[in-house]
Structures are given as C-alpha cells and as structure tokens.
Structure 1
Amino acid sequence: MEFKARDYRAEEEIHSLTRVSVSSHPLCSSSSSSSSHTQDHVSVEFFDPLRGLSTEIMEPVEDVVVAEKHPASQPTSHLSTKEWTSFNKLLMQRFPVPKMISVSALSSKTIKGKKVIGELPAKTQLDELNDSEKSTEKGFKIVSQQDYIKRLHELKDEIMRSWRSDDRATSLKLSIKVAMLLMDTCVAQFYPTLFVLATDIMDMLGDMVWVRIREKAEFADDGTKICTLSDDFEANSVCLEAKETCNNWFRKIASIHELLPRIYLELAIFPCWRFLRNDVIDNLMRMVMMIRGIADPLASAYCRFFLIHCAQKLPQRDAGHLVTCISDQKILLRQIVSMKETKYGNFLGDHKLLISLMEPTIEYTMRCIFKDPNQVADMIVRLELGKSPSELHGKVPWISIILHYLLKELPTEVVCSNALEILHLVDCSSDFSFDQYLNYKMVGLKLCEGIDQLNTVDAVIDEVIQAATKRKILDEYLKILDAYMDIILHYNMDRSLSSILSEIFERLCNEVVTEDELASLQSIVVKLVTHFDDMKYVFDLNYFVDILDVMHGSSRSIVCMHILTNATRNDRIDDLTIVKLLFDVAQSLHDNVDFSNTRQDDNQQAERLVARFVDKVDHGMELDRHLTFLVECRGAFSSMNDLKEILVHSSNLLAIRALREKKNNLNFIKSCITFNEVTIPCIPSYARQLILYLETAEVSLFGGLISHSDGLLDSALCCLQNVYLVDGLRKSNEDADGIVSLTRKLCSFMLLVPGNLEQGAMYIPKSILSLLDSQSWITPKLRIRILCSLLSLSATFAQNEFPYHAIHEEVIGNDRLFLGDATYSQELRSLSRVILDNMVDIIPQEPSQVTRGKLALEACNCITSFYKVNDEISSICSKLMETAISCLGGGDKYLQSTINFVHKHQLGENDY
C-alpha cells in the first residue's frame, strides 16, 4: 500500500477564492448601502444583523400592554387604591408579628366567640359597645397570631355573606366588631397588621354601601332605570329614596357609642356624603377634629391614616385635612418627645417603639401632601415652612421624624434652591424621634439628584462638614459624608476632600471599626475610585492608601474589585508605582476571597479582575522585569488556577517578543520556558495542561530549542494519558469530543517536530495508538476519529514536502531530515498498516447500527483520500461499503456521496 503524493501549494492555489479590492470593509457603516460584492462585481443588498435591529423588534410592545391594563377611562382613585394596597403590603412586612398575641377581654369575645348568624340581640350589642373599660379590668387573654388572622378573614366572609342575603344590619354589626378591635393596642407590633386587615373589611363595607345607594339612585324598585350618574355627579341629581337610604346609614353609624368604631365606620362610607351634599370638605374636617378625641396615640395615628386614605376617594382634592393631620401629629409627637415618664396608651417609657409604629402614617401623609406638583408652593406656605418655595425659614424647629419625610417628598429643585436654609432647619430639629444624621443624609441625597442646580456649594459643604464633625459616632459621621461625596467630587473640591480624608483616617486610628462603619467607608471609597479615570490620581490622594489598609473583610474586597475594574479600563499599565500598588490590591483581594468555592460569582469576578490586571501590565522593553513580575504573580495568586494559564500565555508571549527583536535572547527564552515547565503542573486540569504544553513546545521550536520541545511533548503525552486514565470514566460526550480535538492538535503539531533519533520518528503517534488500545472506555466512534487523524498524519509524513514547517532555520522537518531514509519509510508503513487494521477491526464493535454505518463511511472516505488505488485498498473499501449499505440502506445521502467519491478515485481522477 502506498500513500498518494500531494502538492500542497498547487492545492492551495486551486481552492483559494479570487480576491477583489474594496475601499472599505463590507460590515463598516460607511460602506455604501450595506452591500456586498460578488466576484462578478454585482451589488447585492445585505443586512448585517450585528449592526442594528429591525424596527419591528424595536417596537415598544410593553407600552401596549400597559395601555391595555390601565385604560384612560379608569378613575384617578384607582391609582390611589393601588398605592394604598402596595403601601399596606410593605407595612405588614415592616413589623414582624409575634406568634402569640395578648388581647383585651372585649377583643377576645370577637376573636374567640361563636360566629354570629342572624341579627344580634339589642342588649348584647349594647353591652359589647359600652363595656370596654370593664373588660380591660378583667385582664388580657392570649390568642395565637394564626387564629386571630383566621378569625378576621372569617368575619370578612360573614359580612359579605350577610350582605348578599340582604341582612345588612348584621353586616354593619359585624363591621362594628371589627372596628372595635382597633381600640386594642396591647401588642403594639401587631397593630399595623391588624389595621391592614381591619381596614380591608372597612373598605369592603364602604364599597358595598356605595354600590347599593348608587343603585337606589339609578334604578327603581322594579328594576327600571331612572338615570345614569356620571363620575362627577351632584347631590341634586340623586333621587329622594337614595338620599333617605344614605341618611339612614349615617344615622345608624352615628348611634355607635364608642368614638373610634364610629369614626372608622363613617370614614368607610364617607364618599357616600356625595349623595347628600356637593361640598363634603366640612364633614371631612369634622372627622379630623373627632380623631383628636382618641386618647391612644397609636390608635389616633392610624385613624388619621385611614381618614387620609378615604379622602383620596373624593373628587375634591383640597389638602386642608392633610395639613391639619400633620399639625396634629406634630403636636402629639412634641408631647411624646418632651416628656420622660408619660404613659401613652400601652406605651410606658418605650417612646421609640411608639414613634417607629407611627412612622408609616407620617410617611403616607407627607406623600399625599406633595402628590400634586402644582400645589407644592401652597403646601410650603400652609405647612409654615416659608413664604414660598424660594424663601424657606431655616430656624423653625420641626419634629425630626416629620422633617425627614418632608425632606423626602420635597421637590429636588426646592431643596437645591434652599440648601442652606434646609440644613439650618435640620440643625435645629434634633430629638430622639428620628436620628438627625439621617436627615442630613436625606438632604445630601436630594441635592445629588439636582447636583447641577446648586449655587452655594462651598457654603453647603462647609456646613455639612461642620455638622458631621460634631457626630461622635463614626458610622453617623461617615454616612453624612457619604451622602455629599458625589457633590464634592463633581465640583472638584480638593480642599474639602483632603480635609475629609484626613479626619477619616484620624478617626479610624482611634476606634475599632464595626461592620456598619466599614460599609459606609466602603461607599465613600468606591465613589472616590469610580470618579477618577486615572488611578494615579486616586493613589496620590492623601491618606487614601492608609484608609485602604485599615479596611478589611468583604468591604475591602469590594473596594479592591472596584480599583482593579477602574485600573484595567486602560489599554496598558506601565507606571511601576501604580503596578506595585495594584499588585498589593490584587494580592489583598486574593487573600480575602475563598477560591475553594468556585461556584460563587464574586470569586469568579475577583479572579477575572486579577487576570485582567496581570494581562494589562506592560514593562515595555524590559522583558526580564516583566518575567520577574510573572514569577511574583505565580507566588502571590497561587489559588487562582485560571490565572496560571494566563501567566503561561504571557510568558510565551514574552518569549515571542524576544525572538522578534532578533537579539541574542536565548537564555531569556529558556527562562520563559522553564517558568512554564514549573507553572503548568500546578494547573489541576490535565486537558488544559496539554494545551499549554503544546503551546510552549511550539515556542521552543520557534526558538530552536529542540530538546526543550521534546521534553514538553513528553509531558503533553503524560497529560493525555492522565486525561484518559483519571477522567475517562466520567467524560460526557462534549468532554470526549474535547479529548479527540486535543489529540488531533497534537498530531498536527507533530509535523513541526523533528523525529527523535533515539526513540524513532514515529514515537509519539505510536504512543497515542498505545493509549487508545489501553483505554476500554473509549467508544468505537471516538477511536475511529482519532485513528483517522493518525492516518492523516502518516499520509502527510509520507510526502516529500510538508504543508508547513517551524520558522527557525535550525529546526529541520522530517521531510528533509529523513528524505530517502529506508528505515523511516519502513517505520511509517508499519505504523499506517496497524492504524488501518485497527480501523477495520473496530467498526463492527459499534453497537448502534446507524452509527456503525456512518463510521464505515467515514473510514472509507479517509482511506480513499490518502491511499493510492490497489487491490487491497479496493477490497477494504468494498467491505466498508457493504457494512454501510447493510446499516443505512441504499438511499442514504452520505452513502451515495461516498460511493461517487470512491468511484472517481478508482477511475484515477484528481480528488483535490
């Protein structure tokens, strides 16, 4: 058997496409009409999918969906209802509910009592409405949170069921029972949850009453439609019967003895006043005044909360009730914060808990006050903040917690135009209701929103630094400065920045830094790092490096990642001082991260950043210095396996650069190869080791270091054997394909390597063949693919001239080294014979019939491509074709194309 002779240069010329000169790249945006040119210079329209998206894809489909969900015809109160629902969900999540709840005896009757069916006796109703004081004297009862909430849901269902059965009196009485539960503030943390569940029932009752009265106004008793009320109807368009029904509801509610249930029930049906009067503002203010009679501060705060919610349903949007409500809250809070041992409801001495529970009601009230942008100026005047948005009073003290939510809702332009006055307002409003430093922080956040609108920056920052310096707690000091750091950086206030960094470092040296303080410090440092484009400016800041050294733990790691991210944005890092500082930062990041857990995204990000840093460092023409840097990196970042690969690539790149300079750098190249020989075994993946060994061997050949190349190839063979032995049984199909690919890469590289005179020119192909025979897990399909590669290598070894050679003049290819050598030719024929026999023997071992047929065709194509026609080759190919026909059938397209190919080959036509 004899291999076909090939002329690789002639083949390249035949198969190369004709090249046409163009003025610009066909994918470039400047190319005319995005057209490409064929060989005949015919312009055809061309769409580049990488350049842009079609208009159909860019259409904002989501806007259409939103429009369908929120049609323009919906009443504006719908948005208020959604906001109320969302706020209530957050309210329930904000205060964890205890598992066991202590309730008064009166509440216990409602929660644990029998379900009410039908109308309650009048005497029982009277006793339950008027006996709250006696029940309190009897002490408290304990119920589970689950039972309490379950009973509320049952009451809601009973109210709905009674209403549907036209028993509206029972629905009202049950609703009164629910409202009376809101008098009980025994377990304060449960009260917000109780409020949400109870007011949900109140809203349901209000909606049912509204619908009933509206039906009375629009339909007669026999179902005949009288009229249709518009959304903005007036009271004079409502019929007398509907008004009488409405009056009846309000009278029944007015007969409730207890104040708080009476207020809640009237508020629930409050929108129904529209059936009686056109202007209901006076009634609303009457309700505001009634709430002043509720002694318990928590109950009164949440009652105002519900009033504001119900007022949102009215078409008139006068904000007088909101201003009065916040004023009443201010008076109540002023009493709470000024008196030390005063009992407020169930709160004796625990005023902070009381205020924290009242906080959501203040937040919602302020949100409603500034909901309408057109009324901001009017609200500022009515709240006695100032004469107008541009003339605020900065010396009138406010309750700190109310001021906080006022600042949160004030428009950004108002805060920016009155920054100093607002800071003075914060300064003189200091009480335990809310931490003052959070108000300074809030002002800073608002100013950052309109950072370009500030016109008194220096005075503002001086005021803030003075206020921050007065804070004795480090975390409060840092949080205030953090809020204003963007302003300082935006306006390049170097003097202020230097002063701040100096004091931060001084405080850090004198205190033990807590986790909260580290988080605040982290935010400040990250803002510094991300502001500057050049890390040199950051490292040159006084005390910056010192502050970084004080940081530890996850905060330091996060800062280090931001530093490396910013530093590696540039094309190269060549400043030796910056390289040293960044090296320390990267080493700190490496030491703080647990790389044993490779699944964490933070670990992967840290390794990528360190790798980018190493890749960006450039010592210019000082190649020795850069190799030393790589050695230091290998020692400093020993846990980063992916980085070790980059170090090997970088070392090979250095060797190539030394070769291109064409100086006597042989010792340096040897140093690079030695570095790789030490580094590669530290990488846990044998497959990756194999790739790096081949890459380094190629560099060795380029440098003319044949002995080094032989040693690296031996190491590569060991890696290939370890891949087979250690990982073979666990390999997936994808991994197995990777092994085949690596084996093929090794085969293609063998054309560059001069044959080993001691071990024989075919030493490595024989070794690969031996590995195949020793591994039982390798499937016939994989064996055939590798054997085809070995056969292709053998066919190329048989040529008088190889398709490619090593570029070094001292590295002589086997085509020149063994040309005409009989021993070499005999060894090659022997190897190819073994390969061919293995191919023929392995195919029948494939259990899958279809796969067996395709393997036979693949082997047939390979043999036909490389061997000259003779009887033996024809016989082998015929047997393979028979196997393929029996497995695939005569109509298979792959089979037909192979038959045609073999036929042409047997006729002696040129197959290339």
Structure 2
Amino acid sequence: MASQIVFKEKDYEFIYKTRAIQLQQTTDNPLRLDRPKVTIQRGRKANVQIRTKGNFVDPLSRAATQKAQTNPLSRPQTVDPLARPSAQPTQKIEQSQPQAQARSVEPNKPQQQQQQQEGKLEIDAEEKQLKATGEFSIYWSEIRDDFQNIFQIKTYDLEQPVPNPFGSNVQTMNQFDGQAKSAYSGDSKIEYQTQAPKQGTSKMIQQKTYIQKVLDIRRDLKRQWINGDKVASLQLAIQSCKLLIDNDKPLFAPVKYVYIIDILETFGKFVIERLLKLSYPQYTDQKIAEISLQSVVGSNISETASEIGRNWINKIGSIRELLPRLYIEATLLKVYYFIDQTQIKPIFQRLIKQVRAIGDYINALYFALYLFRIGAELFSGEKDYLISTLKDFFIYMNQKNKFGKLDVQGDQYLRLFEPYLIQTFRQYSQNCTEREFKDIFEHFRQSTQNHFVLKKMIEQFQAVHISTLALELFSIMQAYPVDNKYQLYACFLPKIAKGLTNVAAGAEICEYVLQDILQIKSFSLFLEILASLIELIFRSFQGYQKNQFFFLILQRFNDLFSMVEKDQVNTNQSKDTFIKLHQFIIKIFQDSQDISEILQIDTFITCIQFFPEDMKKLVCNDLLSMIINRDQKEKITDPMAVHSIVKLTANLNNKKSITKDEQKGLAKIINQLLQKIDFGKDLEQTLNLYAEMRGQFGNISGLSEILIDRALDLIFRGKRLSKGKNQKKIISFYQACIAYSFITIPTIDNPISRLRKYIQVAQVGLSLNLLSQSEAVIKTTIENLLELPETFNGRPIDEIVVPYILDLISFIIVVPDDPSAGYLNIFQGLLKALEQLKWNPKNGGIHSIVIYVNCIQYLCAQVQERLPYHFENVKSNDALFNKDSQFSLTILELVQQLYVKLGEQAQAILKSNITDSIENGLIVKQMLSCLNRLLLLLKFNKEAETTFAIMVDLIHKKINELNRDRTGKVQLTILKAYFLQTFINIEKSTTFNFEEKKNQMVNILESAKN
C-alpha cells in the first residue's frame, strides 16, 4: 500500500507561487476586483483587461468605452425586514441601528406574525408557479420532490436564524458612495459570504429572509438573461453557488440547496436553449424544447454556437472557489455537445472524482447528487459512478469521529444524506440485474451495515431483487436494536411478500417476526408491522396455521387494549391507533381468499368491539361491503362465520338514534348479506338465523318484511327438497315458518304492509293444509282492519284498503269453516268488522257498496255444488256442507241482510250532496257495475226490487248532476254504451218497471252527446 503524502507549509507556499506565475494571476480575485475605481483612476477611455495564460481575456472585465449598462446585480430597492422602516439614506439607517451591546426592543408580535405569514405565502406562490410551468427537467424535479417530502420544506420552520451572507440591504448603483453609473460595478452587488456584513448590520437572519433573497437572485438572473446580459447571469449563478459553501447550520443545508440548484437549472437551461437556437434557427421554441442533445451532430452545429460554447467553457477558469467552479462546470457540461462530445464522459468522470476534494461532506454528497442528476440525463445506462461515490460514503461513515457536525450528530446528521441515498439506489435499481444487486449488497455488507442505509435500499429496489437475498437481509436485521428492526420490517415484509418464491423461507421469517411483535407494547408500532406482515402470512401459510397466526395477533391486540384506560380511548393517539387497526383489518379481508376463515377467528369480533362507536360503525360497514361485493358465487356456509356477520351488522343498529334513512340502508345491506349465506339443506339453521336477525333488528320495519318473505320462501324450498312428501318432520318445519312469519308481522310499522303480509301468510298456510294456523292468521287479519287509522299518507284509509278486503273475500271462499263454530263464522266476523270500519264520509258509501256486492258474490259461490277453485288437499265448504239445508238457509239470510245494507248505503248516498263531477262519475260507474253483477247472481224478488229502485233513483240523480257541466257530459258520453246495456239487462232479468226513468236518462245521455 502506497505511503501517505504529507504536505508541509512551505510546500503549499511553493505550489501557490508556481501556479500564480504559470497562470499570470495576481493575488486579487478577478471576481472581487473593484472595477469602478480602476475605471475612474485610468480615465473613461482606459481599457481595463485581465489576461490569463493563453492570452484569454477575463470574461468578466468590461472596457470603459462601452456604453454604461445597468448593474446586473442591482434591482429595485427593497426594505430589509430586519431593519426599521425609514425614508433616510442607507448611511443614516446604519447610523441609527442599535449597537451590538444596545438593548433590543421586542417587535410587535401581531406584526411579526403577519410578516412571517407573508414570507411563507411568497415562497408558496413561487412553488406553485414552478409546478404549473414545469420549468425544471424531470431529472431535477424528481430529486427536488425528494427534498420537499423528506425535509418538509413547504412547512419548514422558516423562523430559525442562520448566518447572514447578504449584508444589510441590496444596494443599487446610486447608493454606492455617490458614484455615477459605470459599465459594471462589483461593489454594487449583494454582499455575499466572501465578505462579512458591515458594521451595524445583523449577523443572523431568518431562514425565510434567506430564501427570499435566493429567490430574488433567481429572478434577477432571468431578467438579466432576457435583457441580453449573459455575463451578469453567470455572475449571479456563481454567487449563488458560493452560498452553498457555508454549512454552519447543517439542518438548513437541504433547504437552501433546493433553491440554489433551481438557479443553476434555470441558468443551464438558458445556455443550452440559446445554443440550440443558433444551431437550429429554423425551429420554433416548442420544437427546440423537443430536441435531444444526443441527436445534435456536427453538421447541425453552427460555428457561432461552437464559438459561444467555447467561450462559456473558458469562463469557468475565472472562478477561483472550488465548489462554485465545480457546480458551474457540471451545469455547463452539456455545452460540450456543441464543441467536442468526446470530452463529456472524461470530464464527468473527473468531476465524480473531484467530489472527494470537497472538505464539507454535506457539500460533497450534495454535489454528487447534482452529478447524478446530470448522469441520469446523459449516461442513463451507466452505474459505475454511483458505486464509486457510495463506497466513499461507506468509508466516511466508518470514520465515526468525523461523521457529524458539532450540533448535529447520529441519525439526525445521517438523515441529511437521505436524498443522496434515495437517488443512488433509485438510479442503480433501474434495469438492475440480479448480479448487480448482489454487488451493491456486498458493498453494503462490508460497510457499517447502517440500518438507515439498508432501509433506503429496500425501499428503492424491486421486490424480486429483495426476495433473492431475503434471508441474508433478514439475518442482518436481527442484529439491529429493536426500534431499528421494527422500522425495517415495515418496508421489508411487503417486498418479500410480493416477490418471494421460497415458501419455507417466508414461513421462517414470519415465525421470527411474530415472536418480535408479540413483545411490542406500542399500539401504533404493533399495527404498523402487522399491516406489512399480513400478505406474507397469506402466502406462507394455509388453513389452521394461518388462522392460528391471526388468532395470536388479535389476541395480543386485545391484551394491549385491555391495559388502556377508558378515558384514553378518545385521545388523538388512540384515534391514530384505531385508524391503523382499521387498515389492518381491511388488509386481512382484501388478501384473504376465503373470508369465512377470518370470520371464524374468535378474537376477531372481540377486537372490533374495542373501537369507539363512530369508528366501529365505519369498520363494520367497510367489512360488510367487502363481503357483499365479493364473487356472487362465493357463499358463506359456516355457522361461526355467519354468527360473526350478525355481530358486525348489529354494530350498525343503534336502536336509540338510528334514522329512517339509516334503517333503509341497513335493511338493504342485510338483504344482500342473506343472499350470500347458504346452509344448503339445513333449512332449520337458516330459519334460526332469521330468528336471530329478528331479535337483533326488530326495530327495522323494512327488514321484517324481507325476513317474512325469506321465511315463506324456505317453505317452498323444503317442498322441493322433500319432493312433495308431507313427512312429519317437514310439516313441523312448515308450521315453524308460518309461526315465525305470524309473530314477525306486528314489527312492521306500515299498517297496509301488515295487512298484506297477514293475507299472504294465511294463503301460504292454507296451501300447506295448515288449517288451524291459517284460520288464526285470517282472524287476526280481520281484527287488524279495526286497528287501521282513518288516513294514511294523506289519503282516506278506505280508498287504500278496499283492494285488500276484496282479496281477503276472494281467498276465504276456499277456507273451510269449523262446523263446531257455526256456519260461515269467518265471513260473518268479516261483516261485523266492516260495519265497525270507519268509512270516509265523502266516498265511503260507494266503497262499502262495492264490498257488499262482493260479499253477495262470495255467498253465491258458497251455495254452488263445487267452488270455482280449490287448494290442493284442502277440503272446502263445498265438500263439508254440500247437502246441508241449514247451511243454505244461512246463506239466504245473509243475502237478505246484504240487500238491506246495499239499500241503506245507496239511500245515504242519494241524500248526500256531492257536487264534484269526478266523484259523481265514479259513483255512477260503480252503481252500474253493481247492478249488472247483482242481475247475474240473484233472482229478482221483493227485497231486491226495493234495493233496485233506490239504486236506479241514485243513478238518475247523478246523471242529472253530471249533465250540468262539461266534465260531467264527457263522462256521460263515455258511459253511454254501458248505460244502455245495463237497461237491457234490467228489462231481461226483472219485472221492475222503470220505463219512465229510463226514457228520461236516455234523453239526458243524448243531450250530453250533443
């Protein structure tokens, strides 16, 4: 190994003098030369030039004979936010400022807060403008976003003090010692780090002010370039790079780095665009922006572009400071495409090596990061330079006594290099082969194996690469402290879950991780690692082993939560924990191929019960939605899983505060869940589930209707399974279904829905030949008629209930009566209920007439030798009382009673004063229908003649009333044919004499037509 070279002090002096002679340089910095004084001393016609070896003219020098131009560093006077506002000249401001030992006065806090807010708004506005315009290349934008996200620059504490490299104020030419404008003045620029602040100025400024000054430099650079002063733009770029040298505040280095590199990006873009326009003068700006530098060839490059390019390169030699010279050279590296493209790679490699010459390691790696941005654009396939700087970084990390700064040490200092590590691994991972990944891992293995570096490596490389060395990486993690190990689990486990093909290796890793997490006492950390472990568990285990894993995990959570006091549940920290637990549970469901396996875990439901009420509803709703939205063919058959679903659903039903809309939504969810549940041939298990649902959700009326329909459907499923055989066991099941439905109906809020369900259940019961149960339901239906309200949804109840009463009358035709209870006991009970029903005074009479006519029709059906229809295996009244004379007499008596009731109702309508044409038209139409039906059903007798006379008088009256207005005449015209046919039927079937009234009514009908 070569011995280390040691330079003595005399050696440094010799090298310095030799270099100065060779380059014909003075000890003065040409960038700091006081050119205005030199120009004034030698006269306005003097030609001040500084030459270097090779007879190159100093590009920053100006001939005094040139026309005076605006100072490139000058800009409109701005008020120093740290100085007191005053209209006096700068000199007076400095005199009036307090001395260092003077007692300071605390500024007004509201005003200070306003100034701070204004500064942040200005910086935010600049950021938004950059995002909107897309001014930077994708290569720098990617790195820039890393800085923004890592160091939270947008929300950075910009009130912290940093050294002031700018002086008191930005001085203009008129403020510089009263001298007149000259061609160029170095002293009129901002006083940067190379010169200490003047006496009386603040040595520290806020970071907000610092950034605002840098943004001002960028604006000045753009303005000078647009005005044609390219040299002034270069000077501003150089001066901005000088700001990077001082890192007395290391935590501020990333912040200022972002905004200073923005300046270099803008400057480099201007230079290249100018050279492209000179080489392609025929192209538009848009087409110029689309040109790739790799496509630039010698035949397209104009001599002017080449000469200007060489001029830019020559200007680099005038920069004395190392760091600014390296940054400017890297920024202008693409200029070699217009000079000699073969020089690009050697120069780039030299710049990579020169990273080692930068003493401050923050500056060194940040400069390397800038080179990576250039390398990504110019040498996208090469990775050697990435490994080179990474090895240097590892060597530097080994020097523990030098790794860090006075006030920043350890992980806090290492975090400053996070953007560098991210970009290194990100570029290296692009099109990375397995061999290349193993090489970089070997370099890491030979380093200090820092957990932070390993974390960034795992995050940036693809899962397939991490999985190839999963066990090796995991063994390294086991040597880390517990906290560091847990951080790595969060990024390592999801990676290997996606790319690991060795199931045995995955199972081994899961076993070790489980042992670690069962020792965790922090909710947040516990859940963070769990979210990463789930997918690997699903890929590494099946069946019982997998469920056992989840059982242990959830049991540990329950143990952790049981140690938390109740008053700590609603704290912000607890809410964050529950959010992570929510995500964990959702992750389990998403990755599970069979959710029944998860629902069978005992501790699963217990875990959900720990959530606060509002979050518990959200979690349950999400889980139930995931169950519903899975493949429709996937059915849930396990009773334990179904029981868990019922408990999840019950958490959504707060009986005290649930709203109507929430009830509808919950009923819909439960209905969809019931479609997913299938116990196969075990119908009793299904009925038990419905009973459990009724107990949990009896307050949801809409669900009660759904459960009744499903219970009745079970009956017909049972008939299909039994193939129509009425075995004792299946009959008992039928009875249980009818009883379940009968008991559930009262939980329905809607009275009409209750009436409809009663009739439906009675019909199903009779179809099964369950006579006693069907009769009980019918009697309850009749009793329910008397409990109906007078109105429903703003309508009279009789208008709504008439169709259901007619349906009930049609149904009880085939319902056999109990001989021990008397003839037609069900029908007679219905008649009594109709008498007590609260009919609407307006049109209740006509509705009752319609019902009574249907009752007569029922009685006429009962006297037939065979009823018009039957239920299978049900013996109706035609079979029970076919030759019973007493049965026939009872029917005749009831018919006579109904005739009387018809007459009473018709007489009541006749006496009423109804003038509405629509109502009168309805009355006439219903009366004509009733007359025709009665003529078909019964023979004409004395009682019938009385009723007929009243009904004809009623029709005659209503015709007269309808003929009085246009609407009534239209209705008469429509019903004319119906009238005439009814008159013919009356004449054929009766001896009733109504010739006079018939003629009058015919005349009215004719007049209505005209």
Q: TM-score interval w.r.t. the shorter chain?
A: 0.5 to 0.7
The answer on whether the counterparts of 1:651 and 1:672 sit within 8 Å (CA) in structure 2 is yes
**Inter-CA distance 352–425: structure 2 relative to 1 (3 Å threshold):** closer
Match of 2:162 among 104, 116, 120: 104
Aligned pair 1:616/2:677, yes or no? Answer: yes
The secondary structure found in structure 1 opposite 2:382 is: coil
Q: Which runs of 5+ in 1 are unaligned?
A: 1-77, 387-392, 729-735, 774-782, 845-854, 888-894
Deviation for aligned residue 1:408:
3.7
The answer on whether the counterparts of 2:162 and 2:207 sit within 8 Å (CA) in structure 1 is no
Q: Which runs of 5+ in 2 are unaligned?
A: 1-133, 175-180, 565-573, 814-825, 862-866, 879-886, 934-951, 983-1010
- What CA distance in whole angstroms lies between the structure 2 residues aligned with 1:324 and 1:127? 37
Which structure 2 residues correspond to residues 109-508 of structure 1 after superposition, within 5 A? Answer: 113=170, 121-125=185-189, 127-131=191-195, 139-142=203-206, 156-175=218-237, 196=258, 198-219=260-281, 231-234=294-297, 238-252=301-315, 255=318, 262-279=325-342, 280-292=344-356, 301-314=365-378, 317-332=381-396, 338=400, 343-344=404-405, 347-349=407-409, 351-356=410-415, 358-371=417-430, 373=431, 375-376=432-433, 379-380=436-437, 383=440, 385=442, 398-427=449-478, 430=480, 435-451=484-500, 454=501, 456-466=502-512, 469-470=515-516, 472-473=519-520, 483=532, 485-490=534-539, 492=541, 497=546, 500=549, 504=553
Aligned pair 1:823/2:897, yes or no? Answer: yes
- What CA distance in whole angstroms lies between the structure 2 residues aligned with 1:113 and 1:260? 24
- What CA distance in whole angstroms lies between the structure 1 residues aligned with 2:931 and 2:704? 44
Which structure 2 residues correspond to residues 837-876 of structure 1 after superposition, within 5 A? Answer: 841=915
Quote the residue 1:62 is aligned against.
none
- What CA distance in whole angstroms lies between the structure 2 residues aligned with 1:788 and 1:197? 89
- What CA distance in whole angstroms lies between the structure 2 residues aligned with 1:804 and 1:354? 94
Which structure 2 residues correspond to residues 8-87 of structure 1 after superposition, within 5 A? Answer: 81-82=137-138, 85=141
Match of 1:579 among 616, 626, 639: 639
The answer on whether the counterparts of 1:762 and 1:828 sit within 8 Å (CA) in structure 2 is no
The secondary structure found in structure 2 opposite 1:821 is: helix
The secondary structure found in structure 2 opposite 1:123 is: coil
Matched to 1:823, the amino acid is Q
**Inter-CA distance 720–381: structure 2 relative to 1 (3 Å threshold):** same
- What CA distance in whole angstroms lies between the structure 1 residues aligned with 2:403 and 2:853? 101
Aligned pair 1:760/2:819, yes or no? Answer: no
- What CA distance in whole angstroms lies between the structure 2 residues aligned with 1:880 and 1:192? 94
- What CA distance in whole angstroms lies between the structure 2 residues aligned with 1:745 and 1:601? 30
The answer on whether the counterparts of 1:857 and 1:884 sit within 8 Å (CA) in structure 2 is no
Q: Deviations over 1:448-475 (max 9, x none)?
A: 3245xx2x43245325523553564367
- What CA distance in whole angstroms lies between the structure 1 residues aligned with 2:172 and 2:750? 71
Which structure 2 residues correspond to residues 662-811 of structure 1 after superposition, within 5 A? Answer: 679-680=744-745, 682=747, 692=757, 695-696=760-761, 703-704=770-771, 705-712=774-781, 714-715=783-784, 718=787, 723-724=792-793, 728=794, 748=807, 751-752=810-811, 757=828, 760=831, 763=834, 767=838, 769=840, 809=874
| Length, aligned pairs only | 758
Deviation for aligned residue 1:427:
4.5
Deviation for aligned residue 1:510:
6.5
Deviation for aligned residue 1:368:
1.9
The answer on whether the counterparts of 2:136 and 2:265 sit within 8 Å (CA) in structure 1 is no
The answer on whether the counterparts of 2:959 and 2:972 sit within 8 Å (CA) in structure 1 is no
- What CA distance in whole angstroms lies between the structure 2 residues aligned with 1:836 and 1:716? 27
**Inter-CA distance 442–93: structure 2 relative to 1 (3 Å threshold):** closer
Quote the residue 1:69 is aligned against.
none
Mean CA deviation greater in 713-722 or 198-207 = 713-722
Deviation for aligned residue 1:163:
2.8
- What CA distance in whole angstroms lies between the structure 1 residues aligned with 2:386 and 2:797? 71
Deviation for aligned residue 1:483:
4.4
**Inter-CA distance 614–466: structure 2 relative to 1 (3 Å threshold):** same
The secondary structure found in structure 2 opposite 1:141 is: strand
Matched to 1:760, the amino acid is L
Deviation for aligned residue 1:209:
1.7
- What CA distance in whole angstroms lies between the structure 2 residues aligned with 1:737 and 1:295? 95
Instruction: Give me the TM-score of the superposition, normalised by structure 2.
Output: 0.58
**Inter-CA distance 673–465: structure 2 relative to 1 (3 Å threshold):** closer
Q: Deviations over 1:49-77 (max 9, x none)?
A: xxxxxxxxxxxxxxxxxxxxxxxxxxxxx
- What CA distance in whole angstroms lies between the structure 2 residues aligned with 1:181 and 1:878? 107
**Inter-CA distance 796–421: structure 2 relative to 1 (3 Å threshold):** same
The answer on whether the counterparts of 1:560 and 1:589 sit within 8 Å (CA) in structure 2 is no
Deviation for aligned residue 1:278:
0.8
Q: Deviations over 1:796-847 (max 9, x none)?
A: 667566998888957879x999687133245457668989999975567xxx
Matched to 1:366, the amino acid is F
Deviation for aligned residue 1:232:
1.5
- What CA distance in whole angstroms lies between the structure 1 residues aligned with 2:366 and 2:797? 68
The secondary structure found in structure 2 opposite 1:348 is: coil
Matched to 2:418, the amino acid is E
Deviation for aligned residue 1:122:
0.6
Deviation for aligned residue 1:211:
1.1
The answer on whether the counterparts of 2:534 and 2:587 sit within 8 Å (CA) in structure 1 is yes
Deviation for aligned residue 1:367:
1.9
- What CA distance in whole angstroms lies between the structure 2 residues aligned with 1:247 and 1:616? 80
Deviation for aligned residue 1:439:
3.6
Deviation for aligned residue 1:244:
3.1
Deviation for aligned residue 1:97:
0.9
The answer on whether the counterparts of 2:547 and 2:597 sit within 8 Å (CA) in structure 1 is no
- What CA distance in whole angstroms lies between the structure 2 residues aligned with 1:133 and 1:309? 34
Q: Deviations over 1:80-126 (max 9, x none)?
A: 9457546755753562614643243536769x858999997312447
Deviation for aligned residue 1:741:
7.9
Deviation for aligned residue 1:208:
1.9
**Inter-CA distance 219–317: structure 2 relative to 1 (3 Å threshold):** same
Matched to 1:448, the amino acid is A
The answer on whether the counterparts of 1:441 and 1:479 sit within 8 Å (CA) in structure 2 is yes
Match of 1:92 among 138, 148, 155: 148
Percent of pairs identical after alignment? 16
The secondary structure found in structure 2 opposite 1:312 is: helix
- What CA distance in whole angstroms lies between the structure 1 residues aligned with 2:796 and 2:313? 82
